[in-house]
Amino acid sequence: MTAFYNSPSVYGQMFFRSQGQVSVGVQKNLMKKAATLRLNVRDLFYTMRNAGRTNYGLTNLSFVSRFESRVARVAFACNFGNRNLNAARQRRTGVEDEQGRV
């Protein structure tokens, strides 16, 4: 789970409203840990928006910008092959010999 929040703020002549986002995800191992299923939802409460206003002289401007910030992702990963292989053989390099000399 991740979350962030931006409090109301002022940039120059622009006043921006608060914005935030909460994302959650779950993971499940399947087939004796040979496969993984993941589900992730971003902006769970649909609170990510850009809104604000400016008042400058005779100009009053308000804006709200909404985009599709709520996104759900499903991922499935499967490992093929023999997972019980012997460990890779240890290779010797000249570094061990040099360390022994010091």
DSSP assignment of 60-77: EEEEEE-----EEEEEEE
pLDDT recorded at residue 5: 92
Name the DSSP class of 89: P
What SS3 class is residue 96?
helix
Q: Which residues of the chain have pLDDT under 50?
A: none
pLDDT recorded at residue 89: 61
pLDDT recorded at residue 47: 85
pLDDT recorded at residue 84: 65
Decide: pTM greater than 0.85: no
pLDDT recorded at residue 83: 62
Which residues neighbour 49 within 8 Å (Cβ) at sequence distance 6 or greater? 17, 19, 64, 65, 66, 69
